[in-house]
Chain A
């Protein structure tokens, strides 16, 4: 095929999924001329699995992406069918937004967004190879149709499309998700460049026809009435509300699986890739938890303009006839019509330990990676990485300092540190339990944590930052008022209020802040009695309440962070020759050479690095420091 020069860009993003979108938008926001290449314009922002966003840790990620100027939160708010706050009884650190999304609308929104962003160009093309110069640096990509496009940096966000295989029972086909194409040529090329390849598996449940469900037999679940929104940056918008439904599998479903387990590709050995333990197929649940007779099944709408319903909890790669039996054994689905079958998909990923904290490949200059090709799962995880990879690709091209987040700043920091330092043994999903400083990394304060830094880097627009500054000032003013206002037993209505809560009446002068620290006293009740000058929004009130009520615990964690930061600041030089450090175990030497951690803190989190190795490194740093001071 005759090659032809098809343009020059600063950054090319390969793939239009959730990682690719945020990567391309972030790169363009920072001022880099950016090209987004996608296999299919119709599938930009496709949600091939759950039509939903958020949940614990994932909802936190969406908020962080939003605070960093990303689009996922706004797109979610603009296309949601219901939204809820999860874990409201379990404490502020784990409050998490989860929304059902109108799938088609979401794609349409995202396509419109990438088509209408300054510095960003979109094209439909299948990237089949990378262009490199004689130094081995990335200089662009080429496509299936012969286009050669030059760029100083390339971000790979290829999702599950690399050498992917879709499996339904005994049937297997080389294909991407949802009947889309697969790309076979990129993996061998990247492997030739030295990248180590792994293989993962994931799956999705069948979709059924809404008209075939007996809704009388299942229970409805509506979203919250509270005006919840993902995005800090756009006002709440009213959306049509659609319910989900909860039902259960039966003993019959269990029997069907047990009878047909020999035909499951998972158990017949047909699937070799490692699947996620936290998102097992239904057949796995039956086989692994044999004494559990019934399982929860959530039925979720896929959109306003479709009858397709997503059957959450019934992820499967059983043969088609078994899937029909399974679906129809679920309460309320006795006459259900399957529109799309569930399937398993195997795909290539690249070991994320080959990346640095910018999500740049350490050994291929100019190449970045984000999303499922880094061994993660989930739209939110992908988008978060895309934002970081796209930002750093642009910053590298523009000759600016990298944009990095650490474990004490954001879930994104935890996510990336885990990926590049620990690697993955199964598709990586974000959990709140992975964050050491969970109480600081809340869903409600992502703007407080990240907006200033994002604004200074150029990721967040001036107007969005100004809006945040107003909010921050209001919150601060109110906290000061509560700290400086003294109330007495004579304060009108106060003791009556306390009595009604009930909470002990006050007998002497008290600061409002002291009353708010009582677990049973809510901020709203208190300001009803002692109002502030300016009415606060519910989100501002929440902020005031959390910051005051949990000040003790928040302070404790902040102290832990300062200890953590100390180890993070003991820097290890990128070019440090670990073969010259005496006393390291061979395993440690090998891993440190390969992973090249940036600090003692990072090194200590690498598996196989023992405390002894860390003490050797500390001794080494100490020696070097002494040598320096002698000089």
Chain B
């Protein structure tokens, strides 16, 4: 019984070397943990109209600015 258990442990340890390491293609990860909506901390350059740290207001500000590229929104 003891020998069988020992053999099982040895087999388990011995076969771990046969496993393959992950070879999946590298997928780029976000290297900077700080997302853009956190802001730069420099209020002088930060666009007015949104609150740094507030993701929704940041997204809304970018949408508003993107619409400024749409001249069909202009009155004249």
A-B interaction: no
User: Hey, which bits of chain B sit against chain A, CB under 8 A?
Assistant: none
Task: State the A residues within 8 Å of B (CB).
Answer: none
